[in-house]
DNA sequence: CACAACAGTAGAACGACGTTCTATGAACGG
DNA sequence: CCGTTCATAGAACGTCGTTCTACTGTTGTG
């Protein structure tokens, strides 16, 4: 660590940048999105609040950096299983999606919380989010190629699947799942999806 | 209007209460949730900021009152159609759900935006939200009773439907629908649901 | 080796937010 | 008619995101 000056002697401490993102993520997980203030993060990272503006331009820029990690984690979760059976792969992907959201609820809420995404670093954020979605599209293409899923526009099918699973975990995180066993209800949803797509 | 003093001579002006909720709703629709500040709403209503605390206890209490209207509107939208054909009724309900969300995006975002719902007046809010959900459960029961939907727990089935449609409109409001025709994609989702439930 | 130029820091400061405090005024019960 | 009560208005408090103002340590050049 402390790998200072990567290219030229410029940029004396990219380590500070890393420390700030780590601190922001730590505060996010520990105290929630509302507690992620510039002052709190800077203190946690052992830096002055100005550091956030020097490195990320704004608070949104810093949060974007955290969310990039979140979308990368989501993509990893969705891509984790590569069962040769297309339907099994899709189901595993759906279950991993929920596992990710429930395991990193603060991340998920910040990523999809409805409030306008940070404008600072929005393009990078969009790229990482799209990459996660593309992993799902790949699973759909795989299923269609193997004849396990009805033919159709893979993008549209993936969007439909994403809508469903996102809605389910979103409601669950918001405490709006009224059934006694949310896991079982989620499983019903997955089964309904694959049944409708076959 | 200006129906002052309902019961006893106490409560000098419930009209102020109404004016505050109206003002809050107006600011919400016009400028978004972020612009709904105590000062802005009080100014819009022609009242001092303290009025919010006298009448609603906190900013959250005021927002709760606005969201109660939102949930009532959602319930009305979902219950609007009562086509005798169960599947047609369910489809109409789903389309009305999306129409409501797209027509009142600020309301929908505040109702389901992921951020913890206001604690002030949470019980009343929950009651109105549950009433909206119950309208959907009723449609499911109706469909099962007529044999148009596979038998099962109506609550769980309704929850699955809600998850899907909520996810779809939530992503659409967030600009995360990547298909060229969101309306068509939503229609695919509805068809997939009814196909899976038959 | 000296020295101007500069990037990055710390800390105070600004406006706006939610909320609370203080004093004022108008409506009630006796 | 007066004393009490309660909603009001407006100032004030602490915190937020952000900006401003010095200052410091380093860098490239004579």
Q: What is the pLDDT of residue B4?
A: 32
ipTM score over 0.85, yes or no: yes
Per-residue pLDDT tens digits for A145-156: 999 999 999 999
Q: What is the pLDDT of residue A8?
A: 27
Tokens of B91: 């489809």
- pLDDT-derived band of residue B131, with 50, 70 and 90 as boundaries? very high
Contacts of A162 in chain B (CB under 8 A): 167, 171
Please list, in sequence order, all residues whose beta carbon lies within 8 angstroms of the beta carbon of residue A156, skipping any fewer than 6 positions away: B179, B184, B185, B188
Whether A115 and B115 lie within 8 Å, measured CB to CB: yes
Interface test with chain A among B119, B123, B164, by most A beta carbons within 10 Å: B164
| Average pLDDT estimate for A110-136 | 84
- pLDDT-derived band of residue A13, with 50, 70 and 90 as boundaries? low
Q: What is the pLDDT of residue A196?
A: 92
Check whether B102 has a pLDDT greater than 80. yes
Per-residue pLDDT tens digits for A81-91: 889 999 999 99
User: Rounded CA gap, A92 and A85, in Å?
Assistant: 11
Q: Which of A70-84, B4-18, B39-53, B110-124 has the lowest mean pLDDT?
A: B4-18
Whether A164 and B163 lie within 8 Å, measured CB to CB: yes
Structural domains of chain A ordered from first start: 1-57 (1.10.10.60), 59-197 (1.10.357.10)
Check whether A137 has a pLDDT greater than 90. yes
User: Rounded CA gap, B39 and B32, in Å?
Assistant: 15
Q: What is the pLDDT of residue B11?
A: 44
Per-residue pLDDT tens digits for B113-123: 756 666 667 78
For chain B, the three-class secondary structure string (H helix, E strand, C coil) is CCCCCCCCCCCCCHHHHHHHHHHHHHHHHHHCHHHCCHHHHHHHHCCCCHHHHHHHCCHHHHHHHHHHHHHHHHHHHHHCCCCCCHHHHHHHHHHHHHHHHHHCHHHHHHHHCCCCCCCCCHHHHHHHHHHHHHHHHHHHHHHHHCCCCCCCCHHHHHHHHHHHHHHHHHHHHCCCCCCCCHHHHHHHHHHHHHHHHC
Residues of B engaging A, defined by a Cβ cutoff of 8 Å = 33-34, 109, 112-115, 117, 129-130, 133, 153, 155-157, 159-160, 162-168, 170-171, 173-174, 176-179, 184-185, 188-189, 191-193, 195-197
- pLDDT-derived band of residue B106, with 50, 70 and 90 as boundaries? very high
Check whether B170 has a pLDDT greater than 60. yes
Q: Which of A20-29, A80-89, A95-104, B111-120 has the lowest mean pLDDT?
A: B111-120
Count other Cβ atoms within 10 Å, centred on residue B97.
24
Q: What is the pLDDT of residue A147?
A: 94
The C-alpha of B161 sits at a distance from chain A's nearest C-alpha, in angstroms, of 8
Are A172 and A102 spatial neighbours (Cβ–Cβ below 8 Å)?
Answer: yes
| Average pLDDT estimate for A168-191 | 96
């Amino acid at each position: 660590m402390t790998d200072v000056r990567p290219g030229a002697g410029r940029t004396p401490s990219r380590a500070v940048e890393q420390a700030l993102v780590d601190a922001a993520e730590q505060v996010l997980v520990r105290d929630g999105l509302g507690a992620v203030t510039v002052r709190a993060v800077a203190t946690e990272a052992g830096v002055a609040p100005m550091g956030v503006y020097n490195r990320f331009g704004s608070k949104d820029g810093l949060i974007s950096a955290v969310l990039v990690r979140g979308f990368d984690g989501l993509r990893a979760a969705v891509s984790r299983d590569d069962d040769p059976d297309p339907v099994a792969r899709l189901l595993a992907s759906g279950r991993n999606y929920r596992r990710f959201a429930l395991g990193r609820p603060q991340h998920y809420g910040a990523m999809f919380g409805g409030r306008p995404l940070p404008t600072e670093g929005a393009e990078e954020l969009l790229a990482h989010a799209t990459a996660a979605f593309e992993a799902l599209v790949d699973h759909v293409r795989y299923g269609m190629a193997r004849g396990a899923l009805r033919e159709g526009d893979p993008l549209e099918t993936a969007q439909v699947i994403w809508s469903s699973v996102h809605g389910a975990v979103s409601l669950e995180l918001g405490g709006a799942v009224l059934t006694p066993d949310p896991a079982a209800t989620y499983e019903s949803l997955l089964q309904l999806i694959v049944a409708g797509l076959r």
